[in-house]
Amino acid sequence: MEQLLKLFTPVKDLFVDNWMMLIMWLIGGTLIFLAIKYEMEPTLLLPIGFGTIIMNFPIVEGHVSEALGTLYNAGIANELFPLILFIGIGAMIDFGPLLSNPKLMIFGAAAQFGIFFTLCTASLFFPMKDAASIAIIGAADGPTSIMVAQTLESGYIGAITVAAYSYMALVPIIQPPIIKLLTTKKERLIRMTYKPAQVSKLTKVLFPITITLIACIFAPAASSLLGFLMFGNLIRECGVLESLSETAQKVLANLITIFLGITIAYNMTASQFLNPATLLILGLGLVAFVIDTAGGVLFAKLYNLFAKEKVNPMIGAAGISAFPMSGRIVHKMALKEDPQNFLLMHSIGVNVSGQIASVIAGSLILGFFAG
Amino acid sequence: MLGYEDIIFKNTLFSADSAEGSGTNTETGDVGSDKTYEEITDERLDKIEEQLGIGKENDAPAPEENTESSIGWYPDQFGEAAGSMGVGMLGVFLIVGIIMGATYAINAIISRISNRKKDAE
């Protein structure tokens, strides 16, 4: 009997003495479940979930952390993975709807209000650099969140990344109630005519180059992120690099996503994740998304007070950088109210402008608090 | 099999400049300094490791070392954050406005060039 008990002692030591490990397994398993069952951002949540499980296994911890540490140094500590991923994202984006109606950009800018509102709120509870890193969850953009948190040397990069990607996946649940709360039925029924102005190839080629130059002059901290995003877009739009464009959109983006997901788990250890700060970060991340949505919608309503040609205020909510989900949600909501109201081109235009504006907001945050 | 420490120890033991000062006494380490051979060898080993770049700490701190920040109550920071909010939103609108203006300019210039081409034809 004693020998039998001795046999189970290491197992008891493993589970009883490392109960926090079990909680992290549960968290990792939950992320995997959400990714597979509900298809919530599976490209990131599944690798993060799996990485969380293996990073929190004491017997193999050293081996795993060494491997992930190497990847972490190679791609996240030097911000390389987010930048390369942005090449792929840039190659996926079609700026045509935005270029045919450039004034939509201001709604993308307005929807970044949640970042700065969350900065004010988080600054009450966290040191400034951590507060800024948490606020950037509101950018609704994984690479930007990772890059800002890493540059500011936040100790909560794991929680911030999980929050950012989780809420991006929850945009279909978070946004509609806020949009309905802030708009009237009459406002939701406003039709926006789409005049498909012919956007020339030259315009589509000059646009990424121009934005990069503007970013280098006015927001140097954004030059790397915006530069890589626009490089990817230029590969797509130049028309002579079809194979590179396809590679960037598919192979490159998928490859980096695999490494990014599992490497983020390097920070998903029990000691880092299981503390009251994580809950607060998840709460503040939700605040950021809510205020982003509200900011965009309210700005669109303000715009309507002065504009001759009214806009449907719902498109303001599409300024959140969750591309293309946010744009599609607004379009679907409009169709639900009026089956003849097609807002897709407008909402997607605002959505892509939100992508640019979120990077600019991130760069300003870095400009204020880095160094 | 000798480890590298042993090889280096033996090399330093028998090298001409294995100790501070002049003269050597390989038994007592009495070579014009108060240091024992272990201390001297440790110093030599440290120097060699430094030159070879081995024994350096990993670039990324171990995950457990990252938890320097902590929750607290920082009301003094609110003013700075509010100021950053104002400047930040202004900055976002300003830069987006510049991009928007540049886009309109590009559209106008290209439209004018294509119209001129059509007129010329």
Q: At what angle do helices A325-337 and A344-369 cross, to 10 degrees?
A: 140
Q: Are A200 and B110 an interchain contact pair (Cβ–Cβ within 8 Å)?
A: yes
Q: Do A124 and B77 touch (CB under 8 A)?
A: yes
Q: What is the pLDDT along chain B (121 residues), one digit of tens a residue?
A: 444 444 444 444 444 444 444 444 444 444 445 667 667 777 777 776 666 555 444 444 444 444 445 788 899 999 999 999 999 999 999 999 999 999 999 989 988 888 888 888 7
Q: What is the predicted pLDDT for the residue at B24?
A: 45
Q: Is B90 left (phi over 0), alpha (psi -120 to 50) or beta?
A: alpha
Chain A closest CA to B23's CA: distance in Å?
A: 46
Q: How confident is the model at residue A60 (pLDDT cuts 50, 70, 90)?
A: low
- What is the enclosing helix (H) or strand (E) of A2? helix A2-16
Min Cα–Cα distance to chain A from B16, Å: 41
Provide the pLDDT for residue B6.
47
Contacts of B93 in chain A (CB under 8 A): 106, 109-110
Q: Looking at residue B17, what is its pLDDT?
A: 43
d(CA B57, CA B59): 6
Kindly tell me if the per-residue pLDDT of A289 is higher than 60: yes
Q: What is the mean pLDDT of residues A28-50?
A: 87
Secondary-structure percent of chain B, ordered helix, strand, coil, rounded to 5: 60, 0, 40
State the average pLDDT over residues A261-275. Answer: 81
Residues in chain B: 121
Indicate the range of A254-263, A286-295, A328-337, B67-76 predicted with least confidence. Answer: B67-76
* Facing residue for A123 by CB, picked from B60, B77, B93: B77
For residue A140, pLDDT over 70 is answered with yes
Residues A156-167, mean pLDDT to the nearest whole number: 86
Least reliable range by pLDDT among A179-188, A326-335, B69-78: B69-78
Mean pLDDT in residue range A61-85:
81
Position B16 scores a pLDDT of 42
The predicted pLDDT at position A155 comes to 84
CA B103 to chain centre: 39
Q: Give the pLDDT score at A158.
A: 84
A4 pLDDT exceeds 80? no
Structure confidence at residue B117 (pLDDT): 86
Average the pLDDT over A139-161 and give the result.
88
The pLDDT of residue A8 is 64
Per-chain mean pLDDT for chain A: 88
Residue showing tokens 């909510």: A317
Judge whether B20 and B7 are in contact, CB under 8 Å: no
Please give the interface size between A and B, counted as residue pairs whose CB atoms are below 8 Å apart. Answer: 157
Q: Measure in Å the smallest separation between the Cα of B44 and chain A Cα atoms.
A: 29
**Is some CB atom of chain A closer than 8 A to the CB atom of B14?**
no
Q: What is the pLDDT of residue A71?
A: 87
pLDDT at B51: 60
- pLDDT, position B49: 62
State the pLDDT at residue A193. Answer: 81
- pLDDT at position A53 over 80: yes
The model's pTM = 0.76
Q: Residue A103: its chain B contacts at CB < 8 A?
A: 100
| Per-residue CA distances from A108 to A77, A246, A353, A355 (Å) | 29, 27, 5, 8
Q: For residue A205, which residues of chain B lie inside 8 Å, CB to CB?
A: none
A63 falls in which pLDDT band (50, 70, 90)?
low
- The predicted pLDDT at position A6 comes to 63
Identify which has the larger pLDDT, A6 or A295.
A295
pLDDT at A371: 66
Q: Is A168 within 8 Å of A140 (Cβ atoms)?
A: yes
Q: Is B61 on the interface with A (CB under 8 A)?
A: no
The answer to whether A44 touches A165, Cβ cutoff 8 Å, is: yes
Q: Among A266-280, A337-351, B59-73, which range has the highest average pLDDT?
A: A337-351
Neighboring chain A residues of B94 at a CB cutoff of 8 Å: 218
Q: What is the rounded distance in angstroms from the CA atom of residue A116 to the CA atom of residue A113? A: 6
Whether the predicted pLDDT of A9 surpasses 50: yes
**In this structure, is the dihedral angle defined by the CA atoms of residues B41, B46, B50 and B55, taken in order, positive or negative?**
positive
* Residue A15 pLDDT exceeds 70: no
Determine whether the interchain pair A128/B110 forms a contact, defined as Cβ–Cβ distance below 8 Å: no
| pLDDT per position as a tens digit, A206-253 | 999 999 999 889 888 888 888 999 999 999 999 899 999 999 999 999
Mean pLDDT across the stretch A184-199? 84
Minimum mean pLDDT range among A54-58, A69-73, B61-65: B61-65
